[in-house]
Structure 1
């Protein structure tokens, strides 16, 4: 009898742990963009499916408790208001005011207070690593920059899908004119923004491009055409947004008067697959 009771007790303990890790009811996923007074509503997980836009906003009733966490590990607690439309020109994009408002210098992700949004460590690595600088240089040379000025801005390591092998995301950018989250309308020769994901397949390291912009030549000053628009690609967060044990990669893409946020799942076989997207721009 005893040998049957112990497995049952272990199963009961696991069931209780999973219940604690996955709060009942709708689970909003928010992203704080530096400098913004509201957190952008990515979507709401409703048990079996994601809701976006107005459908998601209607499920955010206000007074929800959130755990707010930046990539570097800073954590804060907050309570959210109802979701509100950003209005024109983005009526289908929604924001949530958090109180108290976390003051992180970088992006942060807000998930329900009782959720386990980081089932495995997310580690920020030094940007000076020779391996990652070489990976950025190789990608830029491949895209036509002969002697790129390599400027790695972030390196983050995490086991995204829980298979026991870490992935590494490398972010790099350089804009001669302008700084911050929004690039100039068009880039100067040598400008770039690149976001790479490095993962192991068998015994080999593979590199996947999550986003890339490279300027090879200057814009004609006599032309009214800005194209191609300069684009910034950044890592905004890594978190398990729906409690399935896999951590989504949240990316931020911006041009001079707008942005997009995308939450994607990673698997070694299929790569990165977008699950949620929101944004605002003229």
Structure 2
């Protein structure tokens, strides 16, 4: 009988110890089954999300779902910082997932962070830098900026606008890039164009590594003939395809009764980077409107531009 009691006691003790060990491992920083190919992605102090176990993960899912516990930004993790020119230094990310009881009234912060660089500089909102944790080189190829006054591409833009209802619109390219997105030796071309903001004003800038909106604000309503777009020109099956990543074209004045035309959006291309380790560059863009702004990541697959991550602030 004593032997049976001892056996039962040891069994209970073993089960209890196993539960404690499992619970203890849950809250350690080292995962039981780490994904060495994971990427944690942020831009301009805004968490965009991640690529974990072969899937794009939104910022909310990353920071709140239990299965991504070990990939969250807890603070103190090292990251690589990139500008439009390439590697910009090593940094340490601040905490973003707030589970401290004394801050419960503010809710969970699933959006913003700062990066402390090795030289002591702190990067926050307005830095226009990519913060990335991954195990591969995310910039295997560099984009080349072309002259926005390029005659050939302004003619292409003019023809595109005419095909979409604005035959009288003057082409106004703000950014023009040539880049081999998929590494096949053939360059793609991206056109960022708009006529909503006077390029000579201080409202916005399309210079690299700077926020899009600088001073003042954007108009609250669109006027007939307004346009803002990002257009990718890519050869697919031997044919040139024009693929819009973003497009706002006002065919009439905006009114409250026509919400699709009332609010104009202005776009900017910030960077090109391989964010999921497949060797293909994603496009990192920013979009501003009078009530807010957000960042987007597009994955290019053949003649499709797929929005895979986004985050922002505003109404």
Tell me if TM exceeds 0.5.
Answer: yes
Residue 164 (structure 2) pairs with residue 143 (structure 1)? yes
Residue 117 (structure 2) pairs with residue 97 (structure 1)? no
From 150, 161, 174, the counterpart of 2:195: 174
**Would the aligned equivalents of 1:199 and 1:206 in 2 still touch at CA under 8 Å?**
yes
Distance 1:89-1:264 versus aligned 2 partners, 3 A rule: farther
Aligned to 2:79: 66
Distance 1:151-1:52 versus aligned 2 partners, 3 A rule: same
Stretch deviating more after TM superposition (162-171 or 272-281): 272-281
How far apart are the structure 2 equivalents of 1:55 and 1:190?
39
1:95 partner SS: coil
Residue 68 (structure 2) pairs with residue 29 (structure 1)? no
Aligned to 2:138: 117
How far apart are the structure 2 equivalents of 1:122 and 1:157?
6
Cα shift at 1:195: 0.7
Compute the TM-score of the two structures, normalised by the length of structure 1.
0.75
1:272 partner SS: strand
Aligned to 1:77: 90
Runs of 5+ in structure 2 lacking a partner? 1-34, 64-68, 99-103, 205-212
**Would the aligned equivalents of 2:40 and 2:134 in 1 still touch at CA under 8 Å?**
no
**Would the aligned equivalents of 2:40 and 2:49 in 1 still touch at CA under 8 Å?**
yes
Deviations 1:210-252 (Å, cap 9, x if unpaired)?
11112333346xx687643111232232111122212111222
Cα shift at 1:43: 0.7
Distance 1:235-1:138 versus aligned 2 partners, 3 A rule: same
Compute the TM-score of the two structures, normalised by the length of structure 2.
0.68
How far apart are the structure 1 equivalents of 2:235 and 2:285?
21
**Would the aligned equivalents of 1:43 and 1:53 in 2 still touch at CA under 8 Å?**
yes
Residue 304 (structure 2) pairs with residue 266 (structure 1)? no
How far apart are the structure 1 equivalents of 2:169 and 2:87?
33
Residue 226 (structure 2) pairs with residue 209 (structure 1)? no
Aligned to 1:191: 226
Runs of 5+ in structure 1 lacking a partner? 1-22, 33-38
From 282, 287, 292, the counterpart of 1:248: 282
Deviations 1:166-193 (Å, cap 9, x if unpaired)?
2111101112578323631112333221
More strand by share: 1
Cα shift at 1:44: 2.0
Cα shift at 1:137: 1.2
Residue 165 (structure 2) pairs with residue 165 (structure 1)? no
Distance 1:193-1:91 versus aligned 2 partners, 3 A rule: farther
From 50, 56, 70, the counterpart of 1:50: 56
**Would the aligned equivalents of 1:176 and 1:188 in 2 still touch at CA under 8 Å?**
no
Distance 1:253-1:108 versus aligned 2 partners, 3 A rule: same
Distance 1:235-1:106 versus aligned 2 partners, 3 A rule: farther
Size of the aligned set, in residue pairs, is 250
Deviations 1:75-97 (Å, cap 9, x if unpaired)?
34322111258x99996751121
**Would the aligned equivalents of 2:285 and 2:297 in 1 still touch at CA under 8 Å?**
yes
1:156 partner SS: strand
Distance 1:265-1:176 versus aligned 2 partners, 3 A rule: closer
Cα shift at 1:52: 1.9
Deviations 1:236-271 (Å, cap 9, x if unpaired)?
321111222121112223321123322221122x51
How far apart are the structure 2 equivalents of 1:90 and 1:209?
37
Distance 1:224-1:129 versus aligned 2 partners, 3 A rule: same
**Would the aligned equivalents of 1:60 and 1:82 in 2 still touch at CA under 8 Å?**
yes
Aligned to 2:208: none
